[in-house]
Structure 1
Amino acid sequence: MFDRPGPRALLPAALCLFLLMPGALRAAEPAPAPAPKGEASSEQLRDRLADRLKEDAAALKLSTKPAGAAGGAADVKTANPVDLRARRSAKPAGAASAAKSSTPWSYTGEGAPDKWGQLQPEFRQCAIGTRQSPIDLRDTIKVDQERIQFDYKPSSFSVVDNGHTIQVNVAAGNTLTIMGRRYELQQFHFHRPSEERINGRQYDMVAHLVHKDAEGRQATVAVLLERGQDQTLIQTVWNYLPLERGDTYTAPVPIDLTQLLPRDQAYFSYMGSMTTPPCSEGVLWLVLRQPVQLSSQQISVFSHLYPMNARPLQAQSGRLIKESN
């Protein structure tokens, strides 16, 4: 009759069974310390072996996790740091096309009007707008337009050579009222030759008087200038031209803006845009029909600074153009 094997006799067989299990991770862990004699039964050893097998199975599952699986920080630690930097620095598709150009806008060369829309993202309206200015004022509809109510008064002013034109900034308080809205004069400036044309006719120069209402809407009055006699207000402006481009000259005398307006204030009206970048649309244009004269010498002064600073004509695009009867 055989003796019943003791706990120590069962241990080698259990260990052999464990080592034969596929994927076991015993090499990385120390062997369990042998139990003191007589303290562990065969049932206890089997329980310990079962617990150890469960732990090894869990470890095996973690070590075989597929690349890229969700899990947070553990995946980031194993990622290639060079690849992570490359992903962070990669530019989205189309980023290069949105970059700003170093070329300034101008009237000739690389920054000419036909390139304005590509120079800066905010200038895009210059290329894609459908209500752009200036236009040739033809095929007009003659109607009884309400009179423009000018409320101009003698004001202090300063003259700026801004690199694109001569601009005159005036004190607050000069307004016009049209179509139930009140607009305040912000500044006026000059273009040579005139940007606007009337039935194809272009004038020597034009003055644009830029107004805004309380909500930021813009109304611009265009005063056409043709060669003739001296113009009093323009001579006052020329008297205080700054000596350097980019400078501002604050005049010591006031300016009377009514001197720039023609006697007959009949006008054309249409909806258009600014004629310089960013070419924003929604501008109410009021082009006075009767031109104002200025002398050849006064034209020559401006031409010396800006021989040509007029944007080319833009498509009329079926816009309604009203003309006073």
Structure 2
Amino acid sequence: MRHLTALFAGCLVMLTASANESAPAAGTPAASGAAATTAVKPAYVPPVPATKPAYVPPMSAAAQRAKEEQAELELSQKIAARLAEMRARQKARVVAAAKARKQADAKRRQDELAAAAAAEARRHRTDWSYEGETGPANWSSMNVEWAKCAGGKRQSPIDIRDGIKVDLEQISFDYRPSSFREIDNGHTIDVSVEPGNFINVANETYELQGFHFHRPSEERINGRGTEMVMHLVHKSVQGTLAVVAVLLERGKQHSLIQTVWNNLPLEKNAVVAPSIVINPNDALPEHREYYTYMGSLTAPPCTENVLYLVMKQKMQASPEQMALFSRLYPLNARPVQPGFGRVIKESN
């Protein structure tokens, strides 16, 4: 009885569930003229019996050892491969680090060489001028070979004062008409003449090399200079130098200077060699009295042991000639240098 009651109750539950699933949703009208559908009992599906796993016979001890050995071998191979990879990476890092160090060392050596070359270049500069960073105050520090420009005791120009008046030997000038070449060298107009022009003084002969100009005059006489000066540079067979300085003031036209101006180069450092000749005698005043002292070149390297012969009589150049040079070189004169007690002699 209990079994029938339970079976009946189960059927009721199933029927109720089927009815609930089959009933239309609330608010949805049933098909026209159709009656409520009775739930259909699902077909019986017999249970699938569980499959019994295939029988695996137990592994023998030998097979187990072989398997373990194979596993150990594979693990050893993986470890060896990993170690080889790590060693390769480490070697690559070492090689890369060594290469980087080598490149850094090479770069450092290159920088050191460049710095040394730059320092050496700074110690051998040649780009001097008359003003600013490359002016006279810095000549001695620009080039080791120009040390005399600051440390010399016989530098030029000087202010010629308190000369000892004596009967100085006359300068013997042996000049003749000569071909010439001129250049604007960036510091002055420089004229060179052909060999064969000489002076003789103090029993020494010097050959004229050429002449150039400064503005204002580098030489001063008792504190006073002139607008320009011409330096005629001579050299003896022993290599010693003698400079004849001719002071120039405004006045009438100077024939030699006009010839030089007529043939000025069009470009700096370009050499002009005219087909005409000049006479160096035209550079000299009528009266040949002079001051004399030992000095130096007035431009780097400021070489000393230069004999100066400064003519007492001035010569003239026209205002136009002065103005032309001032357009090229408004200032190309070294300042006056200390005398350091030098003996200065002058003609009576």
TM over 0.5: yes
What is residue 196 of structure 1 aligned with on the other side?
A: 219
In the alignment, does 2:320 pair up with 1:287? no
Deviation, 1:96, is 8.9
* Percent identical residues: 55
Q: SS in structure 2 opposite 1:156?
A: strand
Deviation, 1:98, is 6.7
Q: SS in structure 2 opposite 1:99?
A: helix
The separation in 2 between residues aligned to 1:85 and 1:114, in whole angstroms, is 39
Higher helix share: 2
Q: Kindly report which structure 2 residues correspond to 1:1-325, keeping only aligned pairs within 5 A, or say none.
A: 99-101=120-122, 104-325=127-348
The residue type paired with residue 189 of structure 2 is I
Q: SS in structure 2 opposite 1:241?
A: coil
Unaligned runs of 5+ in 1: 1-80
User: Does the 8 Å CA contact 1:193/1:206 hold for their aligned counterparts?
Assistant: yes
Q: SS in structure 1 opposite 2:137?
A: helix
Deviation, 1:187, is 1.2
The separation in 1 between residues aligned to 2:334 and 2:119, in whole angstroms, is 24
The separation in 1 between residues aligned to 2:221 and 2:179, in whole angstroms, is 33
The separation in 1 between residues aligned to 2:306 and 2:243, in whole angstroms, is 7
The separation in 1 between residues aligned to 2:126 and 2:310, in whole angstroms, is 32
User: Does the 8 Å CA contact 2:182/2:265 hold for their aligned counterparts?
Assistant: yes
Q: SS in structure 2 opposite 1:233?
A: helix
TM-score normalised to structure 1 length = 0.71
The separation in 1 between residues aligned to 2:111 and 2:254, in whole angstroms, is 60
Q: SS in structure 2 opposite 1:244?
A: coil
User: Does the 8 Å CA contact 1:123/1:278 hold for their aligned counterparts?
Assistant: yes
The separation in 1 between residues aligned to 2:242 and 2:126, in whole angstroms, is 30
The separation in 2 between residues aligned to 1:261 and 1:322, in whole angstroms, is 20
TM-score normalised to structure 2 length = 0.66
The separation in 2 between residues aligned to 1:117 and 1:177, in whole angstroms, is 33
The separation in 1 between residues aligned to 2:269 and 2:230, in whole angstroms, is 20
The separation in 1 between residues aligned to 2:119 and 2:298, in whole angstroms, is 23
User: Does the 8 Å CA contact 1:100/1:119 hold for their aligned counterparts?
Assistant: no
User: Does the 8 Å CA contact 1:103/1:110 hold for their aligned counterparts?
Assistant: no
Q: SS in structure 2 opposite 1:234?
A: helix
What is residue 57 of structure 1 aligned with on the other side?
A: none
The separation in 1 between residues aligned to 2:119 and 2:177, in whole angstroms, is 46
The residue type paired with residue 260 of structure 1 is A
RMSD: 2.5
The separation in 1 between residues aligned to 2:287 and 2:240, in whole angstroms, is 26
The residue type paired with residue 140 of structure 2 is G
Deviation, 1:103, is 6.9
The separation in 2 between residues aligned to 1:288 and 1:172, in whole angstroms, is 23
Q: SS in structure 2 opposite 1:323?
A: strand
Cα distance per residue 1:174-203 (max 9 Å; x no partner) = 000001110000110000000000001110
Distance 1:266 1:103, change over 3 A: closer
User: Does the 8 Å CA contact 1:100/1:121 hold for their aligned counterparts?
Assistant: no
Q: SS in structure 1 opposite 2:340?
A: coil
Distance 1:116 1:323, change over 3 A: same
Deviation, 1:100, is 3.0
User: Does the 8 Å CA contact 1:194/1:203 hold for their aligned counterparts?
Assistant: yes
The separation in 2 between residues aligned to 1:145 and 1:103, in whole angstroms, is 39
The separation in 2 between residues aligned to 1:96 and 1:279, in whole angstroms, is 25
> Which protein is bigger by CA-based radius of gyration?
2
Q: SS in structure 2 opposite 1:110?
A: helix
Unaligned runs of 5+ in 2: 1-101
Deviation, 1:90, is 12
Q: What count of residue pairs does the alignment treat as equivalent?
A: 245
